[in-house]
Amino acid sequence: MPETRWRRLWRETTASGRGTRGHAKPPSTRPRPAGRPQYLYRAVNCYLRAGESVEAAHCLRRLGEYEQAALLYLGSGSYEYAAVAYVEGGQPETAAWVYVHNLGRPQVARDILRRMEQSAARPTQALPGDAPASAGRLSSWHDQIGLTRDRLSGAPSSSDPADDAAPASTCQRITSLAAELIGDSGGRRELTPFLEQVRALKQAAISQDDWPAGYAARELERLLLDERDARNAERRAAEQRHEQDRIYALSLRQVQARCDAADGVCDDGIITVLTQTQELLADPHIPGAERTETWAVAIAEAIRRYDQAALVFAAAVRGHRPGAAARWREWSAQVLKVNLTVPADAELR
């Protein structure tokens, strides 16, 4: 029968089985036959259609899709498996939260935080704009400017300098501008003034029928625009990295606060963490942070400070978090048994 065949496939592709529920083990590192992932994906689909989310999560875990597996484990109440999957997926802070919030084991969560602090390990995403790549790009940019300058220096002028000294002056100004750009080895000069000068020189060269100078000015303009875009991308990446670091550091403090709440320690430190969360959520320039809001509300509920939970939702509304007003109303109806009235345009302001 199909059910027996899929269950046999599941036993062949998981290292734990039903008898080890609650004692998750990492997937086997033995070489897998070619084509096994295809069968695992098919097994995932079949298990999901049959409502066997835990078995589907086992297969996803063996496929290396740890976060999706963890979500399925959480949805089915297999919290121990979910925590292990988060650790395997490089999210130990989320695993610590599962241990303290879902499993009621704050000491295990504290141990995870302690190991993270000792190893100074932090899962990061590779973002553009790192120093070696930036230096390499800048060096290549200077080389291209140098080639443009050299071509202009070796090109004959389209008009006689003895009759009209303006074209030669334009060439000299373009050459001097290129040398100034090359001399900025650190790439710290603002490019907008250079762009304005190059555009003015390009128009002057065209009006004087000095096509070599006009071509060189156009090339410098293109190079300046490309470099400006690259630097803007680096700045945005640096801002994104800073935002991620801020959210990550706050998540560690939230796990610590949840551990304190589980141990019955209700001091000002927990309120401080909730206040920091509210400040972050109220900042519309920091996107995402959905998990930060969810964890903060859970912490406030754990210490029975529903006023703090309401302040978290209010901060999310001020920060233009999508759906924040609806989540606030739903939470008020479920927890406080109150039909909260939120201004209709609160999420648009």
Instruction: Tell me the pLDDT tens digit for each residue of 317-341.
Output: 999 999 999 999 999 999 988 887 7
Lookup: tokens for 15 = 């290292």
CA distance 88 to 81: 11
pLDDT given for residue 6 in this prediction: 44
pLDDT digits (tens, 9 = 90+) for 260-290: 999 988 778 999 999 999 999 999 988 888 9
Which own/partner pairs from 157-164 qualify as long-range (CB within 8 Å, at least 24 positions apart)? 157/210, 157/212, 157/213, 158/209, 158/210, 158/211, 158/212, 159/208, 159/209, 159/210, 164/208
State the pLDDT at residue 343: 61
Encoding tokens for residue 91?
């999210």
Contact predicate 91/67, CB 8 Å: yes
Give the span between the Cα atoms of 223 and 122, in whole angstroms: 37
Write down the pLDDT at residue 120.
66
Q: Is the pTM of this model over 0.85?
A: no
> CA dihedral defined by 235, 237, 292, 92, rounded to 10 degrees?
-140
Q: For the CA atoms of 190, 192, 198, 202, what is the dihedral angle to 10 degrees?
A: 170
Q: Residues 79, 52: contact at Cβ < 8 Å? A: no
pLDDT number for residue 33: 44
Per run of 10 residues, the mean pLDDT along the chain (length 349 residues) is 46 43 46 64 91 92 93 94 94 96 95 88 49 81 88 62 52 88 84 90 88 90 92 87 90 96 88 95 88 95 94 94 92 87 53
245 CB contacts (<8 Å, ≥6 apart)?
none
Q: Is 184 left (phi over 0), alpha (psi -120 to 50) or beta?
A: beta
Around Cβ 129, how many Cβ atoms within 10 Å? 17
**SS3 assignment for the chain:** CHHHHHHHHHHHHCCCCHHHCCCCCCCCCCCCCCCHHHHHHHHHHHHHHCCCHHHHHHHHHHCCCHHHHHHHHHHHCCHHHHHHHHHHCCCHHHHHHHHHHHCCCHHHHHHHHHHHHHHCCCCCCCCCCCHHHHHHHHHHHHHHHHHHHHHHHHCCCCCCCCCCCHHHHHHHHHHHHHHHHHHCCCCCCCCHHHHHHHHHHHHHHHHCCCHHHHHHHHHHHHHHHHHHHHHHHHHHHHHHHHHHHHHHHHHHHHHHHHHHHHCCCCCHHHHHHHHHHHHHHCCCCCCCCHHHHHHHHHHHHHCCCHHHHHHHHHHHHHCCCCCHHHHHHHHHHHHHCCCCCCCCCCCCC
Rg of the Cα atoms in the chain: 30
What pLDDT does residue 155 have? 59
pLDDT at 159: 47
